[in-house]
């Protein structure tokens, strides 16, 4: 999604954009957004399993050769690496062909592909300031997100939320979050406010709404409307933080405990230090704790409003355009 936001900004500047991707969400999202997708077969690196790591290395070797072939056909003026399995082989292929490389990191740590490619990149665009990652090579741009929704009355009408109702939005990413899903349903079973809960398709069949006014769904398209319609957000602490901030929403964050390098905890602390969020570690999450945290916040509207302003202050509305300009600048360099 961050890469698509940058692609839109590049296209607005007159650039032609082609994606190189693997077998994940890009198979649907990239063509749907109107971009050509060239595919690579790449596996994640399993460093703890030697045989699997050797197999992955062989696949990656073929991927570099395939990426060189694709880039040789496209003859791009520049390449943008957005992290992930595919970015490593494509970035390496770009470097071997003399194609300028810009990297963007969407989390609070550099992923493996970006760490390996950083010494050779024209610019590394960071979502968060990172210790030891300063200097001319780095630029803190924030994480690109889609433009925020702006019509709150329309957004609330879409979900059947009355103008005077308080709405708590619960979500856990595209796949949902099992611990949050079960805790929220029990925690808010007797609450007197509206709950809009995007549980993810995986867990939805095993869940049921506990009462009227508890809107339980698998997936919410045009998700900005859900953020805009809400008064408080309960979520993981991945890249969605920047969408939360773009809509100026206060949050209760429950970081995913198994994220690489525990980066979701770092993301959550970043928002907590800014005064925009309360944080509950996943191992401390219970229905009682969640109900108490949310109840205390909603009982203090001044604090909620202050958190909302702090959240809005963290937004980076120009992130996609800033990264696009770095790519175009790299393309223009001799």
Q: How does pLDDT run across 73-92, given as a tens digit for each residue?
A: 999 999 999 987 789 999 99
Find how far residue 90's CA is from the centre of its chain. Answer: 21
**pLDDT tier for residue 108 given thresholds of 50, 70 and 90:** confident
* Average pLDDT of every residue of the chain: 91
> What DSSP designation does 128 have?
S
Is the same domain home to 276 and 197? yes
- pTM score, two decimals? 0.83
- Region 249-276: what's the mean pLDDT? 93
Q: Is pLDDT at 57 greater than 60 in this prediction?
A: no
CA torsion angle 97 98 99 100 (round to 10): 150
Q: Is pLDDT at 260 greater than 90 in this prediction?
A: no
- Region 295-307: what's the mean pLDDT? 98
Is the same domain home to 10 and 90? yes
Is the same domain home to 85 and 180? no
Q: Is pLDDT at 211 greater than 70 in this prediction?
A: yes
List residues bridging with 39 in a β-sheet. 21
Is the same domain home to 121 and 216? no
* Rounded distance between C-alpha atoms, residue 18 and residue 308, angstroms: 37
Is the same domain home to 160 and 299? yes
Domain that holds residue 35: 2-146+317-332
Is the same domain home to 115 and 194? no
Residue in the block written with tokens 């509950």: 280
- Region 124-137: what's the mean pLDDT? 90
Is the same domain home to 294 and 226? yes
Q: What is the structure's pLDDT at 184? A: 97
Tokens coding 219: 């997936």
Is the same domain home to 58 and 170? no
- The CA-CA-CA angle for residues 205, 210, 214, to 5°, reads 90
pLDDT tens track for 133-172: 988 999 999 999 988 999 999 999 999 999 999 999 999 8
Q: Of 290, 310, 158, nearest to 224 (Cα)?
A: 158
Q: Which residue has the higher pLDDT, 26 or 171?
A: 171
* Rounded distance between C-alpha atoms, residue 164 and residue 151, angstroms: 16
- Region 229-254: what's the mean pLDDT? 96
Q: Is pLDDT at 208 greater than 80 in this prediction?
A: yes
Q: Which residue has the higher pLDDT, 44 or 253?
A: 253
């Amino acid at each position: 999604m961050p890469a698509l936001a940058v692609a839109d900004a590049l296209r607005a500047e007159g650039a032609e954009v082609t994606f190189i991707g693997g077998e994940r969400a890009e198979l649907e999202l990239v063509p749907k957004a109107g971009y050509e997708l060239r595919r690579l077969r790449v596996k994640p690196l399993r460093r703890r399993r030697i045989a699997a790591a050797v197999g992955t290395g062989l696949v990656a070797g073929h991927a570099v050769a395939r990426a060189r072939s694709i880039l040789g056909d496209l003859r791009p003026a520049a390449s943008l690496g957005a992290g992930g399995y595919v970015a490593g082989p494509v970035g390496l292929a770009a470097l071997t062909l003399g194609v300028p490389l810009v990297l963007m990191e969407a989390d609070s740590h550099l992923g493996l592909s970006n760490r390996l490619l950083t010494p050779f990149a024209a610019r590394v665009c960071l979502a968060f300031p990172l210790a030891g990652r300063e200097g001319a090579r780095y630029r803190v741009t924030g994480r690109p997100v889609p433009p925020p929704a702006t019509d709150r009355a329309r957004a609330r009408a879409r979900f059947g939320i009355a103008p005077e109702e308080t709405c708590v939005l619960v979500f856990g990413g595209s796949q949902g979050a099992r611990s949050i899903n079960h805790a929220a349903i029990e925690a808010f079973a007797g609450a007197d406010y509206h709950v809009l809960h995007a549980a993810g398709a995986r867990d939805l069949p095993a869940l049921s709404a506990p009462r009227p006014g508890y809107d339980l769904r698998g997936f919410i398209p045009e998700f900005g409307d859900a953020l805009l319609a809400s008064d408080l957000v309960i979520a993981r602490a991945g890249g969605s933080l920047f969408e939360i901030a773009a809509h100026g929403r206060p949050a209760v964050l429950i970081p995913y405990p198994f994220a690489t390098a525990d980066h979701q905890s770092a993301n959550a602390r970043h928002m907590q230090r800014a005064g925009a969020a309360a944080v509950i570690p996943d191992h401390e999450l219970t229905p009682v704790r969640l109900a108490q945290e949310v109840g205390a916040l909603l009982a203090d509207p001044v604090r909620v409003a202050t958190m909302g302003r702090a959240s809005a202050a963290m937004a980076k509305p120009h992130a996609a355009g800033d990264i696009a300009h770095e790519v175009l600048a790299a393309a223009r360099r001799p």
